[in-house]
C-alpha cells in the first residue's frame, strides 16, 4: 500500500509522466523490419511500441530482436523486407487506462516503459522509468518522510 498523500502528489504529475500516443514514435506492425532497424538505430532509445494501422497495441520492437533475427538467419539489410509483426515482442507488461500507481511502480522495475491501453487495446501512451523518476525527484525535493501509521 502506498499512502494516499504520496499517491495524490504523483497523480498531480500524471500529465508529465504519461506520454500520450500522439507524441511518440511508434512502428506499424505491417511495416518492414528494415524500416524499424533504420529508425531505431538513429534514435537515442532502442525499443518502441508496435501498433496496427488502427492503433491497436501489438507489442514492442527493439534492436536486440532485429539484430538477433538478422544474424540467426544470415540476412542482409535488403532481406529484412518482412513484417515487423513476425519478430516483435508480444509478452510485455502493460497497463489499462484505470491503472493504479502501485502497479506502475512495481511493473517499471522490470520494464523500461509500460504501454497504457484502452478497453479494446487501443494504444493510449506510455509511462517510462524516466518520467516516473522525474516525478519522484520532484516529490523528494518538496516533502519529508515519516513512519507510516499502522
Least separation, in Å, of the C-beta of 137 and a copy of itself? 5
Q: Exposed (0-12), middle (13-18) or buried (19+): which is 134, by Cβ within 10 Å?
A: middle
35, three cell numbers: 524500416
- State yes or no: residue 43 binds a copy of itself (CB under 8 A): yes
Least separation, in Å, of the C-beta of 104 and a copy of itself? 10
- State yes or no: residue 53 binds a copy of itself (CB under 8 A): no
Tell me which stretch binds a copy of itself (CB under 8 A): 14-22, 66-74, 80-88, 114-122: 66-74
Tell me which stretch binds a copy of itself (CB under 8 A): 49-57, 91-99, 108-116, 118-126: 108-116
Can you tell me which of 56, 112, 121, 122 binds a copy of itself, judged by CB under 8 A?
112
Cα–Cα distance between 147 and 118 in angstroms, integer?
A: 37
SS3 state of residue 82: coil
SS3 state of residue 27: strand
- State yes or no: residue 16 binds a copy of itself (CB under 8 A): no
Amino acid at each position: 500500500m502506498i499512502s494516499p498523500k504520496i499517491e495524490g502528489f504523483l497523480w498531480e504529475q500524471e500529465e508529465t509522466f504519461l506520454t500520450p500516443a500522439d507524441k511518440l514514435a511508434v512502428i506499424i506492425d505491417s511495416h518492414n523490419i528494415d524500416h524499424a532497424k533504420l529508425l531505431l538505430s538513429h534514435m537515442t532509445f532502442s525499443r518502441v511500441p508496435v501498433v496496427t494501422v488502427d492503433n491497436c497495441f501489438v507489442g514492442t520492437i527493439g534492436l536486440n530482436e532485429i539484430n538477433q533475427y538478422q544474424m540467426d538467419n544470415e540476412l542482409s539489410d535488403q532481406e529484412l523486407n518482412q513484417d515487423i509483426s513476425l519478430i516483435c515482442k508480444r509478452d510485455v507488461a502493460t497497463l489499462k487506462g484505470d491503472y493504479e500507481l502501485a502497479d506502475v511502480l512495481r511493473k517499471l522495475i522490470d520494464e523500461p516503459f509500460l504501454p497504457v491501453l484502452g478497453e479494446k487495446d487501443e494504444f493510449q501512451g506510455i509511462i517510462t522509468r524516466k518520467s516516473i523518476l522525474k516525478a519522484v525527484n520532484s516529490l523528494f525535493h518538496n516533502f519529508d518522510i515519516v513512519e507510516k501509521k499502522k
